[in-house]
Structure formats: structure tokens, C-alpha cells
Amino acid sequence: MEDKSFAILGCGSMGTAILSGLIKAHVKPEKVKATVRKVESSAALIKKFHITTYSTDYQPNANSLAVEGAQVVLLAVKPAYITQVLDEIEHVLHEDALVISVAAGITTATMEQHVSSKVAVIRAMPNTPALIQKGLTGIAAGSRVSQEQLSFAQELFNGVGKTLVIPEQKIDALGTISGSGPAYVFYFIEEFIKTSVAMGFSQEEAYLLVSETFLGASELLVHTKQDPAELRRQVTSPNGTTMKAIAVLEEGNLHDLFLKATNSALARSKEIAQEMK
């Protein structure tokens, strides 16, 4: 890992999380170049990580400057700009470069059309807990990726959590679960806090009650490795208070609601892929 040279294009929150993982993996700062839009953001990255950065607002060829000589190029720009950025940097991409995109909906086939025939492309789908090294990243290889390059991508994203290598046809579905999943959890927490406040707790008390309940339950699940249904049954005494609450939730048919929500997200991901062709 530390022998590679890196370019991170669009080094926002996710790019910075991955950058932190690289530094922790003993990649030398002089081996990393990054681009951001604003000069102020560039200065902040230089101050914190001591890497070379370029501002696209100040230097129109910033992405090309960052990519020149890089062995690994991480595309962390918005999906709408992926093909545009690839066209911009194609002339400076090393023929043995590995391009890794974290953009939703843009297929490896689409990206391969915008780079030379020797450049390997990988899609990665990290989620926001990567910001605290608790992420889950789905990884899918394009048609030119070697096993060595795939293993390298796993090592890279293991720096911000755990990884799961899957066929590309599953990565959009993975995005609806682990990618969008934190938003679902935050939404449940948000509503649970509102309910707690409605029951007479202060905002601060409700936040503590709900956040620690979700955290503790999640850690119990990971620690015990038990079926969540079994853990739920352990809390649900026959004809007790929890059973009454679960019965009401079951009346709402949460299974179908979850399926409808994730299918909606998946359909949008496929729309993005079509728009980018």
C-alpha cells in the first residue's frame, strides 16, 4: 500500500475519510495528491495531511495535475461528473493505473469507455460510517481488473471499515442497503426521539435514551452474532409490553414498506446509470 502513488479527485467527506485511512496505513503524504473545488478546502487539507492539493476553482487543469504519475486514482466526485472527469484526465492516466469510483449508478462498462483499454476500473460503494472507520464498502471489479488489483482495493477500503466483494450486478442493490442504510437508521432515531419527547422526556434525555439504545442493540448483535429475530424474542416477553408494541409495528407491514423503499432507491440508481450512458 505505502509504495503506491494516489490521486483523490473530489476530496470531500468520503475522500477525506479514505485519505485518513491511507495515512494510517503509512502511505507517505508526498505519495498523495488531491483535488477540491475551493482554495480554502485545499489549504485545510494541506495543513492537516501535508499532501499536495489543487483547487479546481483556481486551476482548471487541477484534476490532470493530480492524476499525472498516479498509480491509483480515486474518483470521489458526484456521479454527474464522472465521465466528464475521466475525459479530462484520460490523456495523463498511466496505462497501468487503477481507477476506483465511489459514485452511485455509474457502471464500470461506462467508465471503461472513457479510458484507455489497459486501465482497470473498480466500483466501490462505501457508506458514511467510513468517516469514523466503521464503514461497509461493497466492491465490484470491471472487466480488466486483476486479482491483485481487487485485493488492493479491499485493503484500501479496509482502512475505513469492512469490505464485501460482489458481482457488479449486485452493487446498486447493496447501495440501497448499506449505502442508504445509515439514513434509514437516522430517520428511525429521529422519529423515536420525537416519540420520547412526546412522552415527557427532554430533548437531551430523549437523545441519550434513543442513541444509546440503538448503539447498544447494534453492538449486542455484532458481539453475539445471534439472529436478530432471536435477540428480539429475548426482549419480547409473552403478553408483555414489548409484544404489544411489536404487534402494532407488524400491523404496519414493515416488510413490504422496506421492500418498497429499497426498490425505489434501486430504480433511481438504474436511472442514473442510463442517464450517464
> 210: number of CA atoms within 13 Å, CB side?
21
Domains, in order of start, for the chain: 6-167 (3.40.50.720), 181-272 (1.10.3730.10)
| Residues 139, 132: Cα–Cα separation, whole Å | 19
Q: Does this model's pTM top 0.85? A: yes
Q: How many residues does the chain have?
A: 277
> 47: number of CA atoms within 13 Å, CB side?
6
| φ, ψ at 269 (rounded to 5°) | -60, -40
The model's pLDDT over 214-256, given as tens digits with 9 standing for 90+, comes to 999 999 999 999 999 999 999 999 999 999 999 999 999 999 9
Grid coordinates representing 249?
A: 409495528
The model's pLDDT over 78-136, given as tens digits with 9 standing for 90+, comes to 999 999 999 999 999 998 999 999 998 899 999 999 999 999 999 999 999 998 999 99
